[in-house]
């Protein structure tokens, strides 16, 4: 039998590529099909939570928006986890303002919609028990996985990850809807350049070579783009600046001009970190340092507040806007369900006593945010009663 040493360099490369893909496939299969929490015989259950109603009241047209290109798509803040915990509980009037929203239409029209809130208990603003703070770095071995195999990229849940023309990532949460970070389209004061003609990219199937085999050259991977019809951004993000508590509302929903044909993820209310299987979160996005690759990662959740989840997942710019998800057992439907429970906001610099630190932060989908985003998708509150 011909040894690997005696084979041509091209054939050796193909051999090692195949071996690496096989190892990756086995590892990811083990990660994604795990049905129980390590060390436990109990199924991780989706908690049953009451869902309030966020109901649109009045919509009015605003002046034409300004489109500016920020220096970089990231959030800067002087408020860390403890600062967020000490923040005063928002009043009913505050919540109505924060959850009112702007809608940017592809025609350039900008509207603002006021909302009212029903069935929300203010006592729900309880910050989960704190954990060790998670500083954002890639420690030693980079734990990210580049998903380049044809069988993975076009299969759920990886197929639900999409790329935005502004350079961020997003997640399919409806037949025409994509969930992403607000700062990917708005810097807190102005819409970013390209927001009016925003497009969403879907990774296409890999090309075949002359022998009919999948081409593993990531540089040749292509996107199919669909234009965005409407972009919803909560007023809690648009407060004149994005450097304070506004990061709690760093989420946006995009409505596509036409339906896609891929399976989308369900939306879910974020459980506390201790309720997550293995206390882990996971998400996939298009990190800038790996062009043409979809990058998957998982890690333990760290510190958390009512609105934010701090974690240790390795990530680079471009992954912002990715849907953070978990897989747990639905008792009522008696089946496993994977749901988006947060939006990866990305790299947030926090000035802690003159010592800047960088964190990986995700915006948790709270009951109020779930009610709002679900209404944007469904157009009614009747179909938004289960989170």
Sign of the alpha-carbon torsion through 128, 132, 136, 138: negative
Whether 321 shows a pLDDT value over 90: the answer reads yes
Region 11-16: mean pLDDT is 43
Contact present, 303 and 131 (Cβ < 8 Å): yes
Nearest residue to 248 (alpha-carbon basis) of 35, 99, 31: 99
Whether 265 shows a pLDDT value over 50: the answer reads yes
206 versus 82: the higher-pLDDT residue is 82
Contact present, 220 and 207 (Cβ < 8 Å): yes
Length, in residues, of the chain: 387
Going by pLDDT thresholds of 50, 70 and 90, the confidence category of residue 379 is very high
Alpha carbon separation from 124 to 119, 128, 276, 313 (Å, rounded): 11, 11, 19, 28
Q: What is the pLDDT of residue 373?
A: 97
Whether 13 shows a pLDDT value over 50: the answer reads no
Going by pLDDT thresholds of 50, 70 and 90, the confidence category of residue 105 is very high
Q: Where is average pLDDT lowest: 22-31, 214-223, 301-310? A: 22-31
Q: What is the pLDDT of residue 207?
A: 61
Q: What is the pLDDT of residue 145?
A: 65
Whether 314 shows a pLDDT value over 50: the answer reads yes
Going by pLDDT thresholds of 50, 70 and 90, the confidence category of residue 97 is very high
Given the DSSP bridges, would you call strands 75-77 and 335-352 parallel, antiparallel or unpaired?
Answer: parallel
Region 237-247: mean pLDDT is 65
Going by pLDDT thresholds of 50, 70 and 90, the confidence category of residue 206 is low
Q: What is the pLDDT of residue 148?
A: 63
Report the alpha-carbon distance of residue 131 to residue 136 in Å, rounded.
15
Q: Where are the domains of the chain?
A: 9-384
149 versus 241: the higher-pLDDT residue is 149
Whether 191 shows a pLDDT value over 60: the answer reads yes
Whether 306 shows a pLDDT value over 80: the answer reads yes
Report the alpha-carbon distance of residue 258 to residue 20 in Å, rounded.
37
Q: Is 93 helix (H, G, I), strand (E, B) or coil?
A: helix
Q: First vs last Cα of the chain: how many Å apart?
A: 58
Alpha carbon separation from 75 to 51, 182, 387 (Å, rounded): 29, 10, 28
What stretches of the chain show up as alpha helix (H) in DSSP? 9-33, 81-86, 92-99, 150-153, 367-378
Angle at 227 between CA 226 and CA 230, to 5 degrees: 130
Whether 25 shows a pLDDT value over 60: the answer reads no
Going by pLDDT thresholds of 50, 70 and 90, the confidence category of residue 348 is low
293 versus 63: the higher-pLDDT residue is 63
Q: What is the pLDDT of residue 182?
A: 94
Contact present, 366 and 387 (Cβ < 8 Å): no
**Mean of per-residue pLDDT scores for the chain:** 79
Going by pLDDT thresholds of 50, 70 and 90, the confidence category of residue 125 is confident
Whether 16 shows a pLDDT value over 50: the answer reads no
Nearest residue to 231 (alpha-carbon basis) of 182, 175, 161, 171: 182
Estimate the crossing angle of helix 92-99 against helix 367-378, to 10 degrees. 40
Going by pLDDT thresholds of 50, 70 and 90, the confidence category of residue 386 is confident
86 versus 77: the higher-pLDDT residue is 86
Structure tokens at 46: 């989706």
Whether 8 shows a pLDDT value over 90: the answer reads no
Instruction: Read off the pLDDT of residues 29-71 as tens digits, 9 standing for 90 and up.
Output: 434 444 444 444 478 898 888 899 999 999 999 999 988 876 5
CATH of domain 9-384: 2.40.10.10
Report the alpha-carbon distance of residue 308 to residue 316 in Å, rounded.
19
Nearest residue to 108 (alpha-carbon basis) of 199, 194, 236, 226: 194
Exposure class string for 16-53: b at 16+ Cβ within 10 A, else e:
eeeeebeebeeebeeebeeeebeeeeeebebeeeebbb
> 337: part of which helix (H) or strand (E)?
strand 335-352
Going by pLDDT thresholds of 50, 70 and 90, the confidence category of residue 26 is very low
Q: What is the pLDDT of residue 139?
A: 39
Q: What is the pLDDT of residue 354?
A: 64
Going by pLDDT thresholds of 50, 70 and 90, the confidence category of residue 134 is very low
Report the alpha-carbon distance of residue 39 to residue 278 in Å, rounded.
9
Whether 163 shows a pLDDT value over 90: the answer reads yes
Among 7-21, 147-161, 190-204, the range with the most confident prediction by mean pLDDT is 190-204
Which residues are known catalytic residues?
Answer: 183, 244, 320
196 versus 148: the higher-pLDDT residue is 196
């Amino acid at each position: 039998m011909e040894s690997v040493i005696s084979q041509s360099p091209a054939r050796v490369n193909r051999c090692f590529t195949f071996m690496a893909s096989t190892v990756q496939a086995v590892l990811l299969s083990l990660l994604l099909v795990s049905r129980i929490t390590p060390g436990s015989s109990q199924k991780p259950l989706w908690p049953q939570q009451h869902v309030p109603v966020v109901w649109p009241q009045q919509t009015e047209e605003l002046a034409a928006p300004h489109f500016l290109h920020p220096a970089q798509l990231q959030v800067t803040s002087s408020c860390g986890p403890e600062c967020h915990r000490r923040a005063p509980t928002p009043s009913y009037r505050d919540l109505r303002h924060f959850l009112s929203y702007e809608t940017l239409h592809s025609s350039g029209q900008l509207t603002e919609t006021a909302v009212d809130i029903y069935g929300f208990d203010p006592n729900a603003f309880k910050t989960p028990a704190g954990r060790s703070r998670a500083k954002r770095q890639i420690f030693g071995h980079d734990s990210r996985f580049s998903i380049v195999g044809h069988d993975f990229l076009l299969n759920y849940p990886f197929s639900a990850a999409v790329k935005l023309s502004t350079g961020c990532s997003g997640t399919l949460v409806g037949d025409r809807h994509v969930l992403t970070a607000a700062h990917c389209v708005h810097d807190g004061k102005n819409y970013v350049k390209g927001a009016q003609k925003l497009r969403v990219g879907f990774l296409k199937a890999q090309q075949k070579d002359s022998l009919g085999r999948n081409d593993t050259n990531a540089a040749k991977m292509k996107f199919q783009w669909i234009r965005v019809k409407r972009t919803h951004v909560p007023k809690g993000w648009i407060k004149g600046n994005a450097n304070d508590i506004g990061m709690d509302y760093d989420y946006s929903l995009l409505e596509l001009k036409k339906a896609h044909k891929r399976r989308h993820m369900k939306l879910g209310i974020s459980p506390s970190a201790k309720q997550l299987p293995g206390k882990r979160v996971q998400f996939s996005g298009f990190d800038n340092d790996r062009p043409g690759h979809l990058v998957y990662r998982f890690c333990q959740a760290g510190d958390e507040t009512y609105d934010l989840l701090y974690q240790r997942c390795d990530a680079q710019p471009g992954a912002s806007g990715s849907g953070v998800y978990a897989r747990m057992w639905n008792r009522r439907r008696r089946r496993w369900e994977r749901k988006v429970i947060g939006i990866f906001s990305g790299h947030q610099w926090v000035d802690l006593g003159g010592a800047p630190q960088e964190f990986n932060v995700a915006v948790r989908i709270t009951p109020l945010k779930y009610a709002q985003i679900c209404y944007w998708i469904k157009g009614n509150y009747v179909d938004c009663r289960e989170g």
